A and B are shown apart, each in its own frame.
Chain A
């Protein structure tokens, strides 16, 4: 199973940028990095994915290191509603299972 390493928990002040790191040193050359989050007991919500280049969408930015062994998810202006568990995943997600680790519990405080 694809294995990633993330901090157990992080805090962020409302309005500030939240930077969530992820190590994926065993990723192979054609595997994408995907980020999801789960708010309370809702279903996981897709955030963003990328292969080599940095990516940005309306929710977040994804920075992938040149050697692709790690990445950082950036929420540019965190709000209280961004409090959630954030999961970093890589692998053949479209053609098979997603392997969820423990993720990072992000707490955004006023």
Chain B
């Protein structure tokens, strides 16, 4: 999965704290996607962003979760007041945005809530 960089690889938070997950897309890619994989489940789409715009957030929980992709810097997935159920692997993908070009994924951030 060379190219899409996610950090941290592992993140531990206590209930009620905030979690910030970062994603730097592949060079030349202006579209970023976030997915979540709960333990023993499949990947689920969360949000799709272009620079400074949220295009589709249909998979984002209504509360506590937000995402941004600023003009400069990485995309950030922010989870406020984390709960045990937020424990999961969070994957970021990027694409150039041209028709039919595939998304490429990072290696994810494993979030554990104590």
Contacts and interface: CB of A to CB of B under 8 A. Distances in A.
Q: Chain B contact residues (Cβ within 8 angstroms of A): what range?
A: 20 to 34
B97 interface: yes
A56 B31 CA distance: 26
Contacts, number: 70
Nearest to A43: B105
A44 interface: yes
B108 interface: yes
A54 interface: no
Contact of B42 (A41, A45, A49, A101): A101
Nearest to A35: B102
A51 B58 CA distance: 27
A78 B56 CA distance: 38
Contacts of A44: 43, 91, 93, 105
Q: Chain A contact residues (Cβ within 8 angstroms of B): what range?
A: 20 to 34
B108 A98 contact: no
Interface string B21-42: 0000000000101010000001
B55 to A, nearest CB: 8
Interface of A: 32, 34, 36, 38, 41-46, 49, 51, 93-103
Interface of B: 1, 4, 31, 33, 35, 42-45, 48, 55-56, 58-59, 89, 91, 93, 95-108, 110
